[in-house]
Amino acid sequence: MTTLLFFFFVFLYTVTTLTFPPLTASGATSSCRTFCGNIPINYPFGIDEGCGSPQFKGMLNCSTDLFFITPSGGYKVQRIDYQKNKMVVFDPAMSTCSILQPHHDFKLSDIQNAVVRPSYDTVFALLNCSTNSPVFNRYRNLCFNASGHSCDELYSSCTSFRIFNTTSPSGNSTVHTTPYCCFTSYDTVRVMSMNILDCSHYTTVIDGGNMRDATTTPLDWSYGIELSYSVPEIGCDRCRKSGGICGFDAETEIFLCQCPASNNNPIASNNNPTRECGGGMTDRGGCNSTNNNYTTLLLAMLMSFLYVIL
């Protein structure tokens, strides 16, 4: 009888170890990278499946560098300020004061427009525009001076934009003329493409720092797009304070608190469908509720076996 019980427990342990590993949510990763290069990756962002907030799913891509992915292309992330909920990105294909590149539109998806969009400090400079452009006719009120600067300064200071200047003889002298230009906001380029605006190029400037100094020139300005994002309130702070990483089930998009493995099993990790890790973890890295189910099942099997042999 003793030998029979010994082999039964050995069999039972083997079966439960192989058959009932700690559960993880469908499609959720067991770990979330917290850096891409030197840029920290915190909630609501994520670069691995099931990490961060589902509203920001697929927005960041980490290869050699971190890129913000939109319908119009990938924009290199320069920095993320998690205190101010700001992210600064730069378009490698955008014209700047030093280089002129073919124009293209800046587009965001509908969900991006709702949760992460250019801040009011991001100024879009429309360059080499036609006099028939809607921003110089019916919608001329969409153009403004930024911190006292005029976009005409771009034509005089930037080598890449001087090509748009034209000269024409006027009597015994030469007249230098510059094409129309317009400082405007993101809302303008959101509803009107560059073709509709009838402008050949654009650049973006962050209206802060050097630009707010009236004595600066375009050579001193910061070029890029500052995005302002909103953070979903789903209890992530509680998860982080308990040592977890905020994530979600990739299929259902239900919030998960991804908890670290225990000391007894440093390889295992757990996706906890509660709001925190503390108290919800066992020495196998799974949820208490899950392991309780296993325990109940094992006890039932043991009682059935004892009933048969006794």
Predicted local distance difference test score (pLDDT) of residue 27? 44
Compute the distance between CA of residue 132 and CA of residue 7 in angstroms, rounded to an integer. 89
Per-position pLDDT tens, the chain of length 310: 555 444 455 444 444 444 444 434 444 445 789 999 999 999 999 999 999 999 999 999 999 899 999 999 999 999 999 999 999 999 888 899 999 998 889 999 999 999 999 999 999 999 999 999 999 999 999 999 888 898 889 999 999 999 998 765 555 555 668 899 999 999 999 999 999 999 999 999 998 768 888 889 999 999 999 999 999 877 788 888 888 889 998 888 899 888 876 544 444 345 666 567 864 433 333 333 334 444 445 555 655 555 555 5
Buried-state track 126-145, b at ≥16 Cβ within 10 A, e below 16? bbbbeeebbbbeebeebbee
> According to the model, what pLDDT value does residue 205 have?
94
pLDDT of residue 114: 95
Q: What is the pLDDT of residue 268?
A: 39
Sign of the Cα pseudo-torsion (146, 194, 228, 154, in order): negative
* SS3 assignment, position 274: coil
Domain locations in the chain as residue ranges: 2-28+235-309, 93-229
Distance of CA 15 to the CA centre of its chain: 43
pLDDT score at 304: 57
Q: What is the pTM of this model?
A: 0.75
Residue 104: per-residue pLDDT: 84
Q: What is the pLDDT of residue 291?
A: 42
As given in the structure block, the two tokens for residue 282 are 């066992």
pLDDT computed for residue 266 by the predictor: 44
